[in-house]
Amino acid sequence: MRVVAAMSGGVDSAVAAARMLDAGHEVVGVHLALAQSAATLRESARGCCTLEDAGDARRVADRLGIPFYVWDMAERFREDVVEDFAREYAAGRTPNPCLRCNEKIKFAALLDKALALGFDAVATGHYAQIEEQQDAGAAGGIRRELHRAVDEAKDQSYVLGVLDADQLARSFFPLGDTTKPQIREEARRRGFSVAKKPDSHDICFIADGDTRGYLAKRLGERPGPIVDTDGEVLGEHGGAHGYTVGQRRGLGLRVPPADGSPRYVVSTDTTTNTVVVGPEELLGVDLIDADHLRWCGPAQAVGVELELGAQIRAHGREYPARVSVGDEGGDGIPARVRVRLAERVRGVAPGQSVVLYDGTRVVGSATIASTGRA
């Protein structure tokens, strides 16, 4: 099989490429140039996509003896990930750019280009597993399922929950059966210079990790009130887009609560430019309505109710849930889900993704539109 190995310049994608080669595939390494003005050297372990990363990926490809190319997808990344991120915050939602990058770039733009060039599949260094099941209704009689990785601390199935059945059929995740320490040791044995390279963290295009500062530069300062649930003004903010549900730090409230208990952001409204704060007990929700529904495998029928697990953050807990499938246009096409959690969960914000699991199998994902209490 002819496979494009997406090589970020890190240790995970390096070992993934090596394992695909060991498995007998014809492998070509591709580094995605996503930054429009990549720095020569990384300033911290947070960022990625620098010239240094491209050089690290090329050195691994040379050691493996495979062809290596850099594909420029900076403009597509800017529009589909960076600008989407800013638009979502401007609208008062809290997006996950890693899911959007997987949906729009790595398993759409990259995969589409690979297929157009005659390749069969894409391999990445994500920590997740593909399992194959007999299914007479699937192409070739085999259905591919996405499952959690064996390394729970590194499991990335959440950010892959946006993949559909066709994308899964052409994807490989060679690291899913291995822990991160074992991957680093394997990289050392293979003589890869990236064996001890730090992982990138947080949002790749915000290298210093200061999301609020980044949004202030992108969206501008827009002072407005911070109020309690009764409407009393407690302080001022520089823009409602810089706050998210569940936030406690950096509120700068002028009026302390009478009982001395901490206050949290319970809602934001970018239309009125208002941030509402309240006590911790107001944060808990157990009802989620979500749209932008994507099935990671066979689609479920409208009207069906499922007993599944729901995960709301990339490395958060999985909660038991009852999931009802609905359609927005009344045309019988699944388009949204209502998720009833078995317990109340704090800090759930519109714009986040809820990923649904059946055991270790990823069933699908959706974007949270609203929350409430059953």
**Which residues belong to the active site?**
101, 204
Judge whether 2 and 20 are in contact, CB under 8 Å: no
Which residue reads 């066709």 in tokens?
A: 166
Name all contacts of 320-325 with Cβ < 8 Å and 24+ positions apart. Answer: 321/356, 323/356, 325/300, 325/301
User: Are the C-beta atoms of 330 and 314 separated by less than 8 Å?
Assistant: no
- 70 by Cβ neighbours in 10 Å (0-12 / 13-18 / 19+) ranks as middle
Closest-CA residue to 11 (of 247, 190, 206, 274): 190
Count of residues in the chain: 374
Q: Are the CB atoms for 17 and 57 separated by under 8 Å?
A: no
CA–CA dist 90, 72 (Å, integer)? 28
Q: Which two tokens stand for residue 105?
A: 């770039």
Closest by CA position to 183, among listed 125, 98, 129, 131: 125
Greatest Cα-to-Cα distance within the chain, rounded to the nearest angstrom: 68
Question: Which is nearest to 308 in space by CA: 143, 296, 246?
Answer: 296
* Spatial distance between the Cα atoms of 247 and 238, rounded to a whole number of angstroms: 15
Distance, C-alpha 276 to centroid of its chain: 27
